[in-house]
């Protein structure tokens, strides 16, 4: 990779760190490995991110910001809030399609005890962004009252993230699809 400007190097580090975290969690953020992936010296990463905690925080923040944009795109492209809700699991499915990766925030959440507080805050923000979007769409689709919407949104988020974990453990995207379909049949997610 030919990174010519400081901004390009920083961006390349963030991209490589995101991929590492989706495969190995926070524990997978190793400066030496990231430097090799980016094609720079390990000390160069310290120029942009003085500590692993600062890198983890930046990666987790970037991740939820990207997902927030993806959710907005789903909202914009869907013909209705119900259709947007039907598309929601697709953002988790995409990670599995990419070399059996999983949601960075789900992975990092399992490492809670090892996460520095600023990283944990960004991981929790990911869940908050997802559940707020789900609640908004559940209420707009008249599938839940505002009070029920928050509870159901957390259940949907947990169920979809859990389906991803189970499917990843078996390297089986079809299992993810089967679980999502079962959520639809049971009424947790709106059916097609």
Is the pTM higher than 0.95? The answer reads: no
**Number of C-beta neighbours around residue 143 at 10 A:** 17
CATH code where residue 155 lies = 1.10.357.10
CA gap 174, 167 in Å, rounded: 8
End-to-end Cα spacing for the chain: 43
- 191 inside domain: no
| Closest-CA residue to 53 (of 32, 14, 28, 26) | 26
Helix (H), strand (E) counts: the chain: 10, 0
Q: Among residues 71, 58, 191, 190, which one has the least CA distance to residue 128?
A: 71
* Domain presence at residue 1: no
C-alpha span between 109 and 57 (Å, rounded): 13
Task: Report if residue 15 sits inside a domain.
Answer: yes
pLDDT of residue 3: 45
| Three-class SS state of 159 | helix
The number of folded domains in the chain is: 1
Please give the residue range of the domain that contains residue 144: 6-186
Residue carrying structure tokens 């999502």: 180
In a domain, 192, yes or no: no
Locate 118 and state its tokens.
């600023």
- Is 98 part of any domain? yes
> With 0-12 CB in 10 A as exposed, 13-18 as middle and 19+ as buried, what is 168?
buried
Q: Rounded to the nearest 10 degrees, what angle do helices 31-38 and 6-24 cross at? A: 120
pLDDT tens digit at each of 192 positions of the chain: 444 456 699 999 999 999 999 999 999 999 999 999 999 999 999 999 999 999 999 999 999 999 999 999 999 999 999 999 999 999 999 999 988 888 889 899 999 999 999 999 999 999 999 999 999 999 999 999 999 999 999 999 999 999 999 999 999 999 999 999 999 999 999 986
């Amino acid at each position: 990779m030919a990174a010519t400007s400081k901004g390009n190097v920083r961006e390349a580090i963030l991209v490589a760190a995101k991929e590492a975290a989706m495969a190995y969690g926070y524990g997978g953020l190793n400066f030496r490995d990231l430097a090799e992936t980016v094609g720079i010296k390990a000390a160069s990463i310290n120029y942009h991110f003085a500590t692993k905690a600062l890198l983890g925080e930046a990666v987790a923040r970037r991740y939820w910001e990207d997902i927030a944009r993806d959710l907005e795109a789903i909202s914009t492209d869907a013909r209705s809030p119900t259709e947007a809700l039907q598309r929601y699991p697709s953002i988790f499915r995409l990670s599995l399609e990419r070399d059996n990766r999983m949601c960075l925030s789900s992975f990092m959440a399992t490492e809670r005890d090892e996460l520095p507080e600023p990283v944990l805050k960004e991981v929790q923000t990911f869940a908050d962004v997802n559940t707020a979007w789900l609640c908004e769409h559940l209420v707009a689709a008249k599938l839940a009252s505002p009070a029920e919407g928050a509870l159901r949104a957390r259940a949907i988020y947990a169920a979809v993230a859990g389906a991803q974990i189970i499917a990843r453990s078996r390297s089986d995207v079809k299992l993810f699809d089967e679980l999502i379909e079962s959520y639809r049949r049971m009424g947790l997610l709106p059916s097609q």
